[in-house]
Amino acid sequence: MLKTSMKFATQILKVDPAAIHFSDTAHIDGSLPTFSCPETEKNLLKAASIIRDSSETVAFPTETVYGLGGSSLNDESVRNIYKAKNRPSDNPLITHISSLSQLNRKIYSENTGDSKPFTNIPDIYHPLIEKLWPGPLTILLPIPKGQNTLSELTTANQPTFACRIPANPVARALISLSDTPIAAPSANASTRPSPTTAQHVYHDLQGRIPLILDGGKCSVGVESTVIDGLVTPPMLLRPGGLTYEDILRIGGDSWKDCLVESKISVKDNEKVKTPGMKYRHYSPKAKVILLVPNDSAKEISQERIEILRSTIANEVQKEGSHKVAFLSSRYLTGSSLGINCIHESLGTSGKEIQANLFALLRKVDEEDNADLIIVEGTEANDEGLAIMNRLRKAASNNTIEF
């Protein structure tokens, strides 16, 4: 693990996503954005210069979470990402591109022109990225043979690299203006809940990075979905902003047998293909208990509520907790636990819960200073697959069924 160094007066610069405009084909041909706000353009050009002309890093919004970016082509930039986050160096990074043209030119060193933009992308991915890029979908691609463009530090010694085109206009503009593929994990201190606002980034990384672009709250709220179409059958390695059901529906016959990575944890010396599969993730300082609903639960009987209350009371007493926070979702209310607690609602739909999850974990941990956080989970389908993936990791699999 690389040690951090505190050396920056971290700036936060405002940018307006609505003031950034792309042509319909920019994600294919790499045409540059236009701007209707001079301040947004100025701030993005400053950030792009840092990415392109130095080895430093910039935090920026994507539609999923805020990312901490440095050039994927520059070993020192990638080292600075790991240092700022205090992130283990065997945890691979996703490379973000602005267009297929940039992928071909900058990573594969091929100027294919506009006639063959998909030339370096295996056929199995084509129906998905034609519909879902730009967006929260990450694919695994083979590392270019005989090319030294992509920093080996982004791949953690794997024969593949993870890649996506983000949908957020700020992220797309930053990558496009720098004309540099950007390696970017979430812009938080390693192990902490991912950031969905610039303020979350500042809380964790103040003094460790030079610049944060503040483009408002992230709309999706969890990281991208990562898929591997280079194996048979293909695999969903990390659930995220696009659902497993989306992959099956759009991917066609090639994806009908897609498997879901089911490992809860991996060994210390085991190599992983994508972020989020190894080490502690998404965890507040406070202990987290995850309440897992019975798959058949549509209504919760009073008898089951009473059993849950008794179990929770025993946990609170065992932990010696003085301030308990409860994040509810679909079935339980603030009074369901039968204890005094800070109560926040995550929402009731999958998209609401997903969008609010990390922000509310941070609120009750960092602002309310809870010493025990109890979270009501949801069914593990649609958006719930990614939600429960994050919550099980946040809770270190400390769960109670109800």
Question: How many CA atoms, within 13 angstroms, populate the side-chain half-sphere of residue 327?
Answer: 30
For 294, other C-beta atoms within 10 Å of its C-beta total: 12
Q: Note down pLDDT in tens along the chain; length 402 residues.
A: 445 555 899 999 999 999 999 999 999 999 999 999 999 999 999 999 999 999 999 999 999 999 999 999 999 999 999 999 997 777 899 999 999 999 999 999 988 666 789 999 999 999 999 999 999 999 999 998 876 799 999 988 889 999 999 999 999 999 999 999 999 999 999 999 999 999 999 999 999 999 999 999 999 999 999 999 999 999 999 999 999 999 999 999 999 999 999 865 544 444 555 655 555 679 999 999 999 998 665 677 888 889 999 999 999 999 898 899 999 998 898 888 888 999 999 999 999 999 999 999 999 999 999 999 999 999 999 999 999 999 999 999 999 998
Domain of residue 209, CATH code: 3.90.870.10
pLDDT at 118: 95
CATH (domain of 356) = 3.40.50.11030
The answer to the question of residue 269 being in a domain is no
Has residue 280 been placed in a domain? no
Is residue 372 domain-resident? yes
Q: Are residues 86 and 210 in the same domain?
A: yes
User: Torsion-angle region of residue 179: left (phi > 0), alpha (psi -120 to 50) or beta?
Assistant: left
Boundaries of domain holding 64: 11-214
Q: Which residues, 6+ apart, have CB-to-CB distance to 93 below 8 Å?
A: 72, 78, 81, 153, 154, 162, 183, 184, 185, 275
Predicted structure pTM score: 0.93
Between CA 161 and CA 273 the distance in angstroms is 8
- My answer on whether 299 and 381 are in the same domain is yes
What local confidence, expressed as pLDDT, does residue 277 receive?
55
The answer for residues whose C-beta is within 8 angstroms of residue 303's C-beta and 6 or more apart is: none
Q: What is the pLDDT of residue 395?
A: 96
Residue 225 lies in a domain: no
Instruction: Give the pLDDT score at 235.
Output: 98
260 within domain boundaries: no
**Beta-carbon contacts of residue 251 (< 8 Å; ≥ 6 apart):** 124, 127, 128, 234, 258
Separation between Cα atoms, residue 313 and residue 308, nearest integer Å: 9
Same domain, 189 and 316: no
pLDDT of residue 345: 97
Domain end among 214, 244, 279: 214
